[in-house]
Amino acid sequence: MKKKTCFHCGGNFIKSEKKFKKKLFCCSGCKEIYKILQDHKLNKFYEMNAHPGMIPNKKNNRFDFLDQKKIREKLVDFENDKITLIRLSIPSIHCSSCIWILESLPKIHTGIIQSTVNFPTKKVCILFNNKKLPLSKLAYFLSKLGYTPNFNEKSRYNSIKNKKLIYKIVISFFCFVNIMLLAIPEYIGSGDKWLIENKYFFRILMLILSFPVLFFSSANYFQSAYFTLKNKCLNIDFPICLGILTIFWRSIYEITYNLGPGYLDSLTGLVFFLLLGEFFQKKTYQYLSFDKDYKFFYPISIIRLREGLEENIFISYLSRGDRILIRNEEIIPTDSILIRGTALIDNSFITGESKLVVKKIGDRIFAGGKQKGESIELEVLEKVDQSYLFQLWNNEVFKKKTEIHELVNKWSKYFTIITLAITLLTGLYWSIVNPCKLFKTVSSVLIVACPCALAISMPFILGNIMRILAKKNFFLRDVYTIERISQIKTLVFDKTGTITESNKSKISFVGKCLTKKQIILIASLVKNSKHPFSRKLYKFLYTGKIFPVRDFKEIPGKGLEANINGMKIKVGSAKYIIHEPKKENIKQSRVFVYIERKVLGYFIFLNFYRKKLKKIFEKLAYYKIIIISGDNDSEKSRLYALLPKNSIFFFEQSPKEKLSRIKYLQKIGEKIMMFGDGLNDTGAIKQSDVGVALSEDVNNFSPNCDVLMKADSFDKIFEILQLSKIGILLVRISFIISIYYNIIGLSLAIMGYLRPIIAAILMPLSSISIIVFSLISTKLSDYWINKIKN
Amino acid sequence: MGILLLMILASVSLGVVFLIIFIICVRKGQFDDNETPSVRILIED
């Protein structure tokens, strides 16, 4: 039977399907777009490609910040009091229907005057009437159609840089070809009298033509070699520069002393082919990293306060002057001023020093600090720089070293020295055996030895794997994490929020009926915490009213306490509240409530396990599975049934015990990947070889972890592990290939069979072949794994 | 035969002229997008 898919976006139906004019749609958003297009007689959208549409953004994005003049000035290309011209980057452009619909925008909305699509860069240039349609409305209108614009200011700079490379290539090509033409007469008709009389003319013209290549086109290589030399290092550009310079000086020497025409054709050819290789490399890299800005950055959201209401928005939509709420253990995303509450800031992510700093109301708090204690209200001073947060995540302090990484580091240090040594030996040999060939071989060796293919294979393959993983909602800190994942033998899972779903659970209260005031009291307290139970309880109890909280304390693994309206309130585990160990016969997760010296009762949480848990774990049979939970063992029997027989369980573990368990396992040589919610198991996540923080609605961004993972991709764990393994295998293969290339090239060059110009062509070719290999192999392995799964 | 030298100079400088024209075109953005127009031309209004 043919699978039913959405007429608009081609997606599968998740819940109920919507019908409109005999067409099926997966959601009301898709139906809405179809209606709009129908109303404007733009049916052609669906005729050009099957299911061309994008699912509109379900989250109600706010673009109000775009109406602030300062922000808008940075984004628009031109603006007067009537019209605005803006170039918007829209990552979801993907087919000819998209081009068509976006260029038909003036037909749909009268405020839009003209729109032009640039398909390769996924940009739309829109001219619109800003009286009829403010920029924020335009952005909202586009996101309603499924084309949410991505506001990023970086993109313009890149295109300028790209153009400079094109100029360099064109100029070097021009000079190369003309020099070749001028060199031909002397190659062929060396006996001609006229030529001999006029050879100076040809040679000097060639020399003049080589100057722009040397001083403009190859300038980058000299710059980078010079800077690394200044830092007392050698990089791979150094031998190239040396090669270029030897050819150049030798040519000048030959021309001035009338020995021959020099090798200026080789010189310009070398630079041209090097630049061409670089160009292709950049193009493929662009193709790869093209959705990096869009998808790589984990969509971190934050709570914004607006007219007393809390709303969840992506931090990239925060703008200056917004009020945000930061709860216990949350990271401050941007520089801001403290408005309400007592801030105890842990700056260890920035400075590496974990000392708590007390901030008073009106104090400035820097981005990257972590709040400990009650929730605080902040006023945002700057727009969030996601790249800064990303950088924070990439901070050296948290990096764990890996084998391949170290191998490459060690090699690249010695590589240039080895190359130079080989060159020197070759030079010595040829100066004794056949001095005529000395110069040719030396420059060929210098050029062909460049380990470009070696240097690019790892970032290309692993970068591509990282991209594929990001598509599966699995965001890695860096490429080296892939290697560590591939070595994993043991998987450790936290229970609450990891293998249970934190959004779904039944809550009921046992004890005396709570009064309205008591409910507000409890809600005010749990609001401050990020713990899954607290969040569930807050959602369950929130009525719209909240009391101010004082002296908030969260004891990880135990509970919360605070002073509200002069009353002491505690919420937490049985151990913490009623000071008695749990009885054996209790089979539920309980949270006790204590107000003013009285224990009022407890909330019962019934856990929902993730769907298909049994199937997921069946696939992971190859790994050793350990469950560590801070909860009681009430669901042990249920877990036994779900998990493989040889898995190990630990219950009622405090965060400290979790950490020491991991440490112990590592001591006996286990490589551990830990899945947790990144909250009460932060220490354990940091300690394990690969720490994964799962998140449901993504408020917790914890720089401690190596991987951020969306909770709904939990069933993809097996694929992710396999893909990482294959990735590392591919890196090894490409290493072997490129070393093989270098050995062959070098030995030919040393023996004097390789002319410099051929070496200059071969070198970028080897890099390109590695790029092609990495692209195809990663794609294939992804495809293969998907096939196995189904 | 002196005319040959002049001709070579002339041809090289003609090449330079075209090179400059090409660079101006790139700068003006003629080559920024070489995919969309090919789709656009097939779309009837």
pLDDT, tens digit, 9 for 90 and up, residues A753-768: 877 777 777 777 787 7
The DSSP bridge partners found for residue A446 are none
∠ Cα A717 A723 A726 (to 5°): 145
First vs last C-alpha separation in chain A? 17
Among A96, A121, A201, beta carbon nearest to B39? A96
Q: Report CB contact under 8 Å: B32, A174.
A: no
Q: Is B23's CB within 8 Å of A170's CB?
A: yes
The model's pLDDT over A404-447, given as tens digits with 9 standing for 90+, comes to 666 666 676 677 788 888 888 988 998 898 887 787 788 888 87
Name which of A560, A501, A582 is nearest A536 in CA terms: A501
Contacts of B22 in chain A (CB under 8 A): 170
Contacts of B8 in chain A (CB under 8 A): 182, 205
- Cα distances (Å, whole numbers) of residue A665 to A620, A631, A671, A673: 19, 21, 8, 11
Sheet holding A672-676, edge to edge: A474-476, A707-710, A690-695, A672-676, A490-494, A624-628, A648-650
What pLDDT is attached to residue A650? 85
Task: Give contacts of A96 with chain B, Cβ < 8 Å.
Answer: 39, 42-43
On chain B, the residues whose CB falls within 8 A of the CB of A182 are 8
> Residues of A with CB below 8 A from B42's CB?
96
> Is the model more confident about A379 or about A449?
A379
pTM above 0.95, yes or no: no
Q: Tell me, what's the pLDDT at A2?
A: 47
DSSP A623: S
Asked if A117 and B23 come within 8 Å (Cβ–Cβ), the reply is no
Domain final residue, candidates A151, A168, A202: A151
Please judge whether A103 and B22 are an interchain contact, meaning their C-beta atoms are less than 8 angstroms apart: no
Say what the pLDDT of residue A1 is: 39
Helix (H) or strand (E) holding A494: strand A490-494
Interval B15-28 mean pLDDT: 93
- pLDDT-based confidence at B19, cuts 50/70/90? very high
Q: Do B39 and A159 touch (CB under 8 A)?
A: no
A170 touches B at CB < 8 Å? yes
A209 touches chain B (CB under 8 A): yes
β strands within A184-333, DSSP E: 301-306, 309-314, 323-326
Cβ–Cβ below 8 Å for B39 and A119: yes
pLDDT confidence tier of residue A177, bands split at 50, 70 and 90: very high
**Mutation for testing the A interface, residue in B7, B43, B44 having most A CBs under 10 Å:** B43
By DSSP bridging, strand A690-695 and strand A707-710 are parallel
| pLDDT at residue B14, rounded to an integer | 95
Residues forming a β-bridge with A365: A336
Residue A459, domain member (yes or no)? no
Among the partner residues B12, B15, B43, nearest to A100 by beta-carbon distance: B43
For residue B9, which residues of chain A lie inside 8 Å, CB to CB? 205
User: Furthest-apart CA pair in chain A: how many Å?
Assistant: 116
State the sign of the Cα–Cα–Cα–Cα dihedral A167, A170, A174, A175. positive
Residue A673 domain-assigned (yes or no)? no
Give pLDDT, residue A291.
44
pLDDT at A290: 44
Q: Do A99 and B39 touch (CB under 8 A)?
A: yes
Q: Which of A56-65, A506-515, A609-618 has the lowest mean pLDDT?
A: A56-65
- Establish if A596 belongs to a structural domain: yes
- Closest CB to B35: pick one of A119, A178, A205: A119
- The DSSP call for residue A315 is G
Q: How far is CA A368 from the centre of its chain?
A: 18
How many Å lie between the alpha carbon of B39 and the closest alpha carbon of chain A?
7
Whether residue A275 is contained in a domain is answered as: no
| A205 part of contact set with chain B, CB < 8 Å | yes
Tell whether the model's pLDDT for residue A708 goes beyond 60. Answer: yes
% of chain A surpassing 90 pLDDT = 4
Spell out the alpha helix ranges (H) of A475-592.
480-486, 516-526, 532-541, 574-577
Is A169 part of any domain?
A: no
Of A103, A166, A170, the CB nearest to B19: A170
When mean pLDDT is compared across A36-50, A166-180, A594-608, A612-626, the lowest value belongs to A36-50
| CA end-to-end span of chain B | 61
B40 and A163 within 8 Å at the Cβ level: the answer is: no
Q: What is the CATH number of the domain that holds A330?
A: 2.70.150.10
Comparison of pLDDT for A398 and A256, the residue scoring more? A256
* Nearest beta carbon to residue A163 from set B16, B26, B42: B26
Per-range mean pLDDT, top range of A24-28, A114-118, A404-408, A723-727: A723-727
Stated length of chain A = 790
pLDDT-derived band at B13, boundaries 50, 70, 90: very high
Q: Do A205 and B39 touch (CB under 8 A)?
A: no
Task: Decide if pLDDT at A682 tops 80.
Answer: no
Chain A nearest-CA distance from B19, in A, is 7
Last residue of a domain, one of A151, A174, A194: A151
Q: Among A170, A86, A70, which Cα is nearest to A125's?
A: A86
* Residues of chain A positioned with their CB less than 8 A from the CB of B5: 198, 201
CB contact under 8 A, A120 and B35: yes
Q: Is residue A370 part of a domain?
A: yes
Q: Decide if A167 and B23 are in contact by the 8 Å CB cutoff.
A: yes
How close A111 gets to chain B, by Cα (Å)?
19
3-state secondary structure A758-781: HHHHHHHHHHHHHHHHHHHHHHHH
Query: How do residues A661-681 score in pLDDT, each as one tens digit?
Result: 888 888 888 888 988 876 667
Q: How confident is the model at residue A750 (pLDDT cuts 50, 70, 90)?
A: confident
Task: Tell me the C-alpha distance between A539 and A525, whole Å.
Answer: 12
Contacts of A217 in chain B (CB under 8 A): none
A 10 A CB-CB count for A642 gives 18
Residue of B22, B34, B39 with shortest CB distance to A170: B22
Lowest mean pLDDT among A227-241, A297-311, A496-510, A710-724: A297-311
Facing A120 at nearest CB: one of B9, B12, B33: B33
At A124, list the tokens: 């739309």
Does residue A569 carry a pLDDT above 60?
Answer: yes
Give the distance, in angstroms, between the CA of residue A134 and the centroid of all CA atoms in the same chain. 32
Q: Does the pLDDT value for residue A392 go beyond 70?
A: no
Comparing alpha-carbon positions, the chain B residue that sits nearest to A212 is B16
pLDDT band at A294 (very low <50, low <70, confident <90, very high): very low
Tokens of A425: 């030996």
Distance CA A762, CA A740 (A): 13
A118 is a domain residue: yes
Instruction: State pLDDT tens for residues A340-385.
Output: 887 888 776 666 566 677 888 888 887 777 787 777 888 887 766 6
Is residue A582 pLDDT above 60, yes or no? Answer: no
Distance of alpha carbon A786 from alpha carbon A187, whole angstroms: 58
C-alpha distances (whole Å) from A551 to each of A343, A562, A567, A570 are: 11, 5, 11, 12
- Chain B CA closest to residue A159: B32
What is the distance, to the nearest Å, from the Cα of residue A153 to the centroid of all Cα atoms in its chain? 17
Q: What is the pLDDT of residue A168?
A: 92
Top-confidence residue, A499 or A244: A244
B 1-40 residues inside an 8 A Cβ radius of A? 1, 5, 8-9, 12, 15-16, 19, 22-23, 26-27, 31-36, 39-40
In this structure, chain B runs to a length of: 45
Identify the bridge partners of residue A377 per DSSP, sorted by sequence position. Answer: A325, A340
CB A59 within 8 A of CB A45: no
C-alpha distance from B6 to closest chain A C-alpha (Å): 11
Distance CA A498, CA A490 (A): 16
User: What are the two backbone dihedrals, phi and then psi, of residue A246, each rounded to the nearest 5 degrees?
Assistant: -60, -45
Q: In angstroms, rounded to a whole number, what is the distance separating the alpha carbons of residues A373 and A345?
A: 9
For residue A142, the domain's CATH number is 3.30.70.100
- Those residues with Cβ within 8 angstroms of residue A718's Cβ, 6 or more apart along the chain or in another chain: A616, A619, A620, A789
Determine whether A390 is exposed, middle or buried from the number of CB atoms within 10 Å of its CB (0-12, 13-18, 19+). middle
CB nearest B36 (choices: A99, A194, A205) = A99
Q: Which residues contact B41 (CB under 8 A, 6 or more apart)?
A: none
Q: What phi and psi values does residue A25 have, to the nearest 5 degrees?
A: -135, 150
Residue A121 belongs to what domain range? 18-151
User: Poorest-confidence range of A16-20, A126-130, A157-161, A318-322?
Assistant: A157-161
Total structural domains within chain A? 3
As a whole-number percent, the residues of chain A with pLDDT over 70 amount to 81
CA A192 – CA A183 distance, rounded (Å): 14
| B36:A166 CB<8 A | no
Q: Which of A119, A163, A194 sits opposite B36 (nearest CB)?
A: A119
Asked whether A384 and A318 are in contact (CB, 8 A), the reply is yes
Shortest distance, CA A466 to any CA of chain B (angstroms): 28
Task: State the nearest Cα–Cα gap between A100 and chain B, in angstroms.
Answer: 7
Beta bridge partners of A563: A550, A568
* pLDDT band, residue A298 (cuts 50/70/90): very low
Question: How far does A551 lie from chain B, in Å, by closest CA?
Answer: 59
Q: Using CA atoms, how far apart are residues A533 and A523, in angstroms rounded to an integer?
A: 12
Per DSSP bridges, beta strands A123-129 and A301-306 are unpaired
| Average pLDDT over all residues of chain A | 77
Per-residue model confidence (pLDDT) at position A405: 64
Q: What pLDDT is stored for residue B23 in this prediction?
A: 93
Q: Mind listing the pLDDT tens digit for each residue in A609-648? A: 777 788 888 888 888 888 888 777 777 777 787 788 788 8
Q: Pick from B40, B41, B42, B45 the residue to mutate for testing the A interface (most A CBs within 10 Å).
A: B40
Nearest to B15 among A96, A100, A178 (CB): A178
Q: Would you call B32 and A118 a contact, using CB atoms and an 8 Å cutoff?
A: yes
**β-bridge pairing A123-129 and A112-118:** antiparallel
Compare CB distances from B1 to A96, A163, A194 and report the shortest one's residue: A194
Q: Which residues pair with A371 in a beta bridge?
A: A345
Which of A151, A177, A196 marks a domain boundary?
Answer: A151
Establish, for the pair of chains A and B, how many residue pairs have beta carbons separated by less than 8 Å. 52
Token pair 């972590």 is found at A370
Structure tokens at A762: 């071969």
Quick check: A201 and B36 CB within 8 A? Answer: no
pLDDT bracket for residue A696 (50, 70, 90) = low
Q: What is the tens place of the pLDDT at every residue in A189-233? A: 667 788 888 888 889 999 999 999 999 999 988 988 888 888 777
Q: What is the pLDDT, as a whole number, of residue A287?
A: 62
Looking at residue A283, its pLDDT comes to 72
- Distance between A178 CA and the closest CA of chain B, angstroms: 7
Interface predicted TM-score (ipTM) of this complex, two decimals: 0.91
pLDDT at A502: 62
Q: What pLDDT does residue A700 have?
A: 53
Task: With beta carbons less than 8 A apart as the criterion, state whether A554 and A371 touch.
Answer: no
Cα(A236)–Cα(A664) distance, rounded to whole angstroms?
43
* Residues of chain B above pLDDT 90, percent: 44
Contact A331, A302 (CB under 8 A): no
Contact yes or no for A201 and B5 at CB 8 A: yes
Query: How far B23 CA lies from chain A's nearest CA (Å)?
Result: 7
Predicted local distance difference test score (pLDDT) of residue B17: 96
Distant-in-sequence, close-in-space partners of A294: CB < 8 Å, separation ≥ 6: A91, A150
In a domain, A165, yes or no: no
**Mean pLDDT score, A491-506:** 74
